[in-house]
Amino acid sequence: MLRTLGIDPGSQKTGWAVIDHQGQQLIWVASGIIRLGSGPFPERMATLGLALRDIVVNHQPTQMAIEEVFLAKDPQSALKLGHARGVAMFIGAEAQLPVFEYAARRVKQVVIGTGQADKQQMQVMVRMLLGLAEALPEDASDAAGVAICHAHSSSGLAGLGTTTSQSHRRRQTGRWRLKDETQ
């Protein structure tokens, strides 16, 4: 069974979801929203990194799937979203997780059947696919959608472990550090 951490990045709030999957079987493990507020941007990114690191340590995913940046009307918003994605990708690489990226349109096509779906449709389908009694909040549902998309994509089922750098190793304390290149 594979465990995927799905990420719907944002500069004020980031959705996350962990699912287990094998073949067509999907099992919800955990999900939530990391609320970053509106304080200084560097502090929000630090909060995001620390929260994602805790999620990785607590839920031990074997891979990460993240939504790609879309073209926003406001270039500043797109840049900030890119920073949030960078933090999330760093945390995945730090934990030696293969990190996969999916366009929002692709996620909607795989999960719902159309790339034009709205957030409410995503919530309904994610709830159904994961067998949940209630819909997840929007951002957590979007993150679960990214994880589900990955679970159903052939790229997510083949070649795992070949996309990450081996330049990191885990210490016994649960913290991550760069491997000394002189070793």
* Whole-angstrom distance, CA of residue 130 vs CA of residue 9: 21
180 is catalytic: no
Cα atoms in the Cβ-side hemisphere of radius 13 Å centred on 7: 33
67 is catalytic: yes
20, 43, 67, 138: the catalytic one is 67
54, 74, 118, 139: the catalytic one is 139
Which of 60, 66, 61, 25 is CA-nearest to residue 151? 25
Whether the CB-CB separation of 20 and 10 falls below 8 Å is answered with no
74 is catalytic: no
Alpha helices in 8-118 (DSSP H): 41-59, 75-94, 104-111
Q: Exposed (0-12), middle (13-18) or buried (19+): which is 29, by Cβ within 10 Å?
A: middle
8, 68, 118, 181: the catalytic one is 8
Q: Known catalytic residues?
A: 8, 67, 139
